[in-house]
């Protein structure tokens, strides 16, 4: 919520930097209301979150007093509806009504601001295709106006984000690069801020692609610009009055971004598994004044933990907990909860991890961080699957233990019963019975030997018949392949071949494997390859691809792999050798 409000109010900051007491002309700048009017608008915006209805009433008063055009009044109504009432659809309806009418009067740049707002609304609700439409319309208005470079680059950044979300990574990179080229030659403070924001989006894109070297390069570039601004802020034009009058404000601004970039660089090195560089940048981060902020400590918790600085990690965690007791509805708290969920998951405490994730989802949903809600919900779903799997595994293990116990008890009981029966039987039998038993055992042994010999003779006879049957079947298969040319059928497979020779698939496979030592697929491939070589020799001028399809192949890749496996060269190389041999024979 805080970040979105800053984004919406950033154009107002730019207005104060550019506007004069009188309305500037389109050639000299934007057609905005006077500075005094914007002071009143700023007062209205102060009630945007606390009392949206009062903000609407104050805006209507400005319109009735003719201090602001009805169209611009509706534009600010849309902002209050979007950010104060959190009614995205109603705010977008206002924007569409203004854009459809196109009655902007002397306020020639209002259309571009409405496009910026509409693109923000659609981006927040994950309607990225609509975001592209509004952003492109805004860029068309900005194009060619030097005073609107930062707005044009902001819209290009919005397009890049939408492309990134739609999976068009290459297009997003190109869009970010174009926006960067548009901004890097300008020295206004608005352009400077827009450039840093754009580069951070670029870093996010490369971070998703796991190109951490590029992330480090971009962060280093931001650091160099910020450090230059810190040393000599005069090269930036139209700076806020606080920075023009006080060097402390400039240092705080630079220190904040240095802290952020050191943390991002440390994270990139952590993902590259470079502990020494992580520790170096954590050390730099700890020396910035902004590092004492609880929010910034939370943003670098992972790096502190990875670097082994347990004491600093615990301090940052305590500071974060103290901060969020006062205000927990922000993105930093979501990041903190996500990290705590990750740590709990590493300790196999899925229940605690889910509790952190559920809280993070609730906060992200309340501040309309839809992408974060989606990602965290996916993590929750994965955890639920893990919980279900663990519970299922535990149940299976318990059931197996029960089965094993029952089996062991049954075996022991059976052994005991058998032993008892044997003992009782042996006690009741006399010597004569024992002799009879011995004779009977001898007779049984002889009978078993006779049966064994008979079985062996039967198996030998059966094996001979199987060999004869296999040879006969193979002759039938070869005959069918030669006469009917079954191998020219692209769909020829084991079932088709079995149907053709009126046999079972298992017998066909066993027959070919025993006779040739090859699989059915390899055996069929040899027929097709032989046919291909024959056709190549008969039609040397025919294209290889055409011959391949006439030999029964569906896929060229299958043919190329099988041909090289058998002949040791590609079909093209084989054809060259054949052509060369024919030329030598002709000569």
Residue 87 has pLDDT above 60, yes or no: yes
Torsion region of 369: left, alpha or beta (phi above 0 gives left; psi -120 to 50 gives alpha) = beta
**Do residues 512 and 523 lie in contact, with contact meaning Cβ atoms separated by under 8 Å?**
yes
> For the chain, what is the mean pLDDT?
76
Return the pLDDT at 3: 41
- Cα distances (Å, whole numbers) of residue 426 to 412, 422, 423, 430: 21, 6, 5, 8
Q: What is the pLDDT of residues 120-154, one digit of tens each?
A: 888 877 888 888 888 888 888 887 776 777 778 88
**Residue 25: predicted pLDDT:** 38
Q: How many CB atoms lie within 10 A of CB 35?
A: 13
**Whether 229 contacts 209, CB under 8 Å:** no
- Model confidence at 319, in pLDDT bands (50, 70, 90)? low
When pLDDT is averaged across residues 49-77 and rounded to a whole number, the result is: 86
pLDDT band, residue 464 (cuts 50/70/90): low
Please state which of the ranges 184-193, 292-301, 422-431, 437-446 shows the lowest mean pLDDT.
292-301
Separation between Cα atoms, residue 501 and residue 221, nearest integer Å: 74
Query: Which whole number is the average pLDDT over 167-173?
Result: 85
Fold of 468-586: Arc Repressor Mutant, subunit A (1.10.10)
Cβ of 419: how many Cβ atoms within 10 Å?
10
Which residue would you say has higher pLDDT here, 294 or 216? 216
pLDDT digits (tens, 9 = 90+) for 264-314: 887 788 778 887 887 787 777 767 765 555 445 555 555 555 555 566 656
| pLDDT on residue 2 | 39
Task: Give percent of the chain with pLDDT exceeding 70.
Answer: 76
> What is the domain partition of the chain in residue ranges?
468-586
| pLDDT band per the 50, 70, 90 thresholds, residue 339 | low
Which range scores top for mean pLDDT: 358-367, 455-464, 524-533? 524-533
324 or 566: which carries more pLDDT confidence? 566
Instruction: Please check the confidence at residue 520 and state whether its pLDDT lies above 70.
Output: yes
pLDDT at res. 279: 76
Euclidean distance between CA atoms 69 and 104, whole angstroms: 9
pLDDT at 225 over 60: yes
Work out the average pLDDT over 572-577. Answer: 84
Region 181-194 average pLDDT: 75
């Amino acid at each position: 919520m805080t970040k979105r409000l800053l984004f919406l109010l950033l154009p107002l900051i730019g207005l104060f930097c550019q506007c004069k007491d009188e309305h500037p002309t389109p050639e000299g700048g934007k057609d905005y209301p006077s500075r005094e009017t914007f002071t009143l608008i700023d007062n209205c915006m102060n009630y945007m979150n606390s009392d949206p209805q009062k903000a609407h009433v104050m805006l209507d008063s400005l319109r009735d007093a003719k201090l602001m055009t009805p169209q611009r009044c509706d534009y600010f109504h849309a902002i209050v509806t979007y950010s104060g009432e959190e009614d995205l659809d109603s705010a977008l309806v206002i924007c569409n009504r203004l854009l459809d009418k196109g009655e902007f009067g002397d306020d020639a740049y209002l259309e571009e601001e409405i496009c910026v707002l509409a693109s923000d609304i659609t981006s927040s609700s994950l309607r990225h295709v609509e975001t592209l439409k509004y952003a492109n319309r805004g860029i068309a208005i900005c194009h060619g106006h030097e005073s609107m470079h930062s707005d044009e680059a902001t819209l290009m950044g919005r397009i890049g984000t939408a492309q990134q979300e739609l999976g068009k990574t290459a297009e997003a990179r190109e869009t970010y690069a174009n926006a960067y080229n548009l901004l890097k030659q300008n020295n206004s403070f608005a352009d400077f801020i827009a450039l840093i924001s754009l580069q951070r989006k670029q870093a996010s894109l490369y971070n998703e692609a796991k190109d951490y070297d590029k992330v480090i390069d971009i962060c280093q570039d931001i650091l160099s610009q910020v450090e230059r601004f810190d040393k000599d802020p005069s090269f930036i034009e139209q700076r806020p009055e606080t920075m023009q009058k006080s060097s402390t404000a400039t240092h705080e601004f630079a220190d904040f971004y240095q802290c952020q970039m050191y943390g991002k660089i440390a994270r990139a090195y952590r993902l590259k598994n470079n502990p020494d560089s992580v520790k170096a940048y954590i050390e730099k981060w700890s020396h910035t004044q902004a590092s004492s902020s609880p929010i910034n400590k939370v943003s670098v918790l992972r790096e502190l933990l990875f670097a082994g600085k347990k004491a600093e990690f615990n301090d940052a965690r305590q500071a974060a907990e103290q901060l969020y007791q006062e205000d927990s509805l922000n993105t930093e708290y979501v990041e903190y909860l996500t990290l705590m969920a990750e740590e709990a998951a590493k300790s196999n405490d899925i229940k605690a991890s889910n509790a952190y994730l559920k809280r993070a989802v609730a906060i992200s949903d309340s501040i309309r961080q839809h992408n974060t809600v989606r990602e965290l919900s996916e993590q929750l779903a994965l955890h639920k699957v893990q919980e279900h799997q663990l519970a299922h595994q535990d149940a299976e293990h318990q059931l197996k233990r029960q089965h094993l116990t029952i089996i062991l008890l049954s075996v022991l009981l059976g052994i005991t019963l058998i032993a008892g029966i044997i003992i009782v039987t042996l006690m009741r039998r006399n010597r004569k019975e024992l002799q009879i038993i011995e004779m009977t055992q001898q007779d049984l042994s002889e009978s078993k030997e006779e049966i064994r010999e008979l079985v062996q003779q039967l198996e030998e006879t059966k094996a001979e018949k199987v060999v004869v049957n296999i040879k006969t079947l193979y002759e039938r298969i070869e005959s069918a392949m030669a006469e009917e040319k079954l191998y020219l059928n692209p769909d020829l497979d084991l079932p088709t071949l079995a149907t053709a020779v009126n046999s079972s698939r298992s017998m066909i496979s066993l027959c070919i494997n025993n006779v040739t030592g090859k699989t059915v697929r390899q055996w069929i491939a040899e027929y097709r390859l032989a046919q291909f070589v024959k056709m190549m020799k008969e039609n040397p001028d025919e294209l290889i691809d055409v011959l391949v399809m006439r030999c029964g192949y569906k896929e060229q890749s299958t043919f190329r792999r099988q041909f090289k496996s058998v002949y040791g060269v590609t079909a093209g190389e084989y054809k060259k050798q054949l052509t060369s041999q024919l030329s030598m024979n002709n000569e």
